[in-house]
Amino acid sequence: MLVVSVTPGADAGAVQAALVARGLWVQRLEAGGRVQFVVEPCSRAVARDAILALPGVEAAFAAAPAHPRMDAQPAQVVVAGVAIGGGAPPVVMAGPCSVESEAQIEAAAARVAAAGAGFLRGGAFKPRTSPYAFQGHGERALGWMRRAADRHGLRVVTEVMSAEAGPLVAEHADLLQIGSRNMQNFALLAAAARLGRPVLLKRGMAATVEEWLLAGEYLLVHGAPAVILCERGVRGFDPSTRNLLDLGAVALLAGVHRVPVIVDPSHAVGRRDLIVPLARAALAVGAAGLLVETHADAGHALSDGPQALDPDEMSALMSALGSKQHG
Ligand code: PEP
Ligand code: MN
């Protein structure tokens, strides 16, 4: 981002008009009697020399980037041999919300692999709104999921909820998920990053894109080898859908920031009948892949049943996307 300083005593309004006339969108900053204009990224590309040549311009320099590591991360990252983003085929991460039993996750892995997904998802440690709700089977579930994934050639993505459980989760997962509710739990971000695994960072339910990128920066600063973002809907005003899927943010992150973004239509809408159209829309705006919940008996699911596709619907989704995933 470019910052333009106005020469002391010069007509700042005239400088602003000259910048705007050249197609730049600027934001005026004033401090200690000095005026500066921050050039917004959506501006037309104008050479720095041309800006310096304008009357009343003292200097034009690049502002220190807020999240240099996120900016420098390549558009494509590789997780356990699977390329994500940067033109790679869309990656699908699918499985139940919660790992409920060994038999359940084995059956889910078989169906997910047969449908052509690349990753098995499932919660072992569950962040539940109510303390009376099912909290996950913890360590046992991690073992069940890892073995099921290995039997079917899948990678594992699962949530890390606490620093204490981190090493155990990292032992079983290829990709560590940071849940929405923890996006700005900075101590957890640092601890998760130190585990040395790539991280899937879900967007906080009221987080701006900038806050989300800065949370990603925390992960990279503390040693995470790669960060993939996951848009899962933000809090909206309308209860017709569980959350509000922000595809504009996905387009911005994928197309402008060049960060790999996975879209989770399941948590975004909270109802299975809207998963397929939103999955298609997500890929159309540049998502690197999808995170989708699926359950063989959604009516009895221990969490998030209403948004889970049954295995046949999951296979139909994959056919609709026309993609076979990495095995
Ligand atoms: C989940 O993936 O099951 C989950 C709890 O997601 P989120 O953090 O987006 O609510
Ligand atoms: Mn869920």
User: Tens digits of per-residue pLDDT, 150-192?
Assistant: 999 999 999 999 999 999 999 999 999 999 999 999 999 999 9
In this structure, the residues whose C-beta lies within 6 A of any atom of ligand 1 are 97, 123, 127, 179-181, 202, 232, 267
pLDDT at position 42, please? Answer: 86
Q: Are residues 12 and 77 in the same domain?
A: no
- Those residues of the chain that have pLDDT short of 70 are 323-327
Q: Are residues 53 and 122 in the same domain?
A: no
- The count of domains in the chain is 2
Q: Are residues 55 and 73 in the same domain?
A: no
Tell me which of 19, 34, 62 is where a domain ends: 62
Report the nearest-CA residue for atom 4 of ligand 1: 179
CATH code of residue 249: 3.20.20.70
CATH code of residue 49: 3.30.70.1140
Rounded distance between C-alpha atoms, residue 22 and residue 28, angstroms? 16
pLDDT at position 41, please? Answer: 84
Tell me which of 62, 79, 94 is where a domain ends: 62
User: Tens digits of per-residue pLDDT, 101-120?
Assistant: 999 999 999 999 999 999 99
Q: Are residues 56 and 85 in the same domain?
A: no
Q: Are residues 91 and 176 in the same domain?
A: yes
pLDDT at position 324, please? Answer: 47
Tell me which of 43, 62, 81 is where a domain ends: 62
pLDDT at position 1, please? Answer: 83
For residue 39, give Cα distances in angstroms to 32, 59, 214, 311. 20, 13, 20, 49
Give me the domain span that covers residue 102: 68-324
Atom of ligand 1 nearest to the CA of 291: 2
Q: Are residues 214 and 313 in the same domain?
A: yes
pLDDT at position 122, please? Answer: 98
Q: Are residues 52 and 165 in the same domain?
A: no
Q: What's the gap in Å between 97 CA and the centre of ligand 2?
A: 4
Q: Are residues 52 and 184 in the same domain?
A: no
Q: Are residues 200 and 298 in the same domain?
A: yes
Q: What's the gap in Å between 327 CA and the centre of ligand 1?
A: 25
Atom of ligand 1 nearest to the CA of 304: 3
Q: Are residues 45 and 78 in the same domain?
A: no
Contacts of 26 (CB under 8 A, 6+ apart): 4, 16, 19, 20, 37, 38, 39, 40, 43
Q: Are residues 83 and 17 in the same domain?
A: no
What is the C-alpha R_g of the chain? Answer: 22
pLDDT at position 297, please? Answer: 97
Rounded distance between C-alpha atoms, residue 272 and residue 73, angstroms? 34
The separation between the first and the last C-alpha atoms of the chain, rounded to the nearest angstrom, is 41
Atom of ligand 1 nearest to the CA of 303: 3
Q: Are residues 42 and 133 in the same domain?
A: no
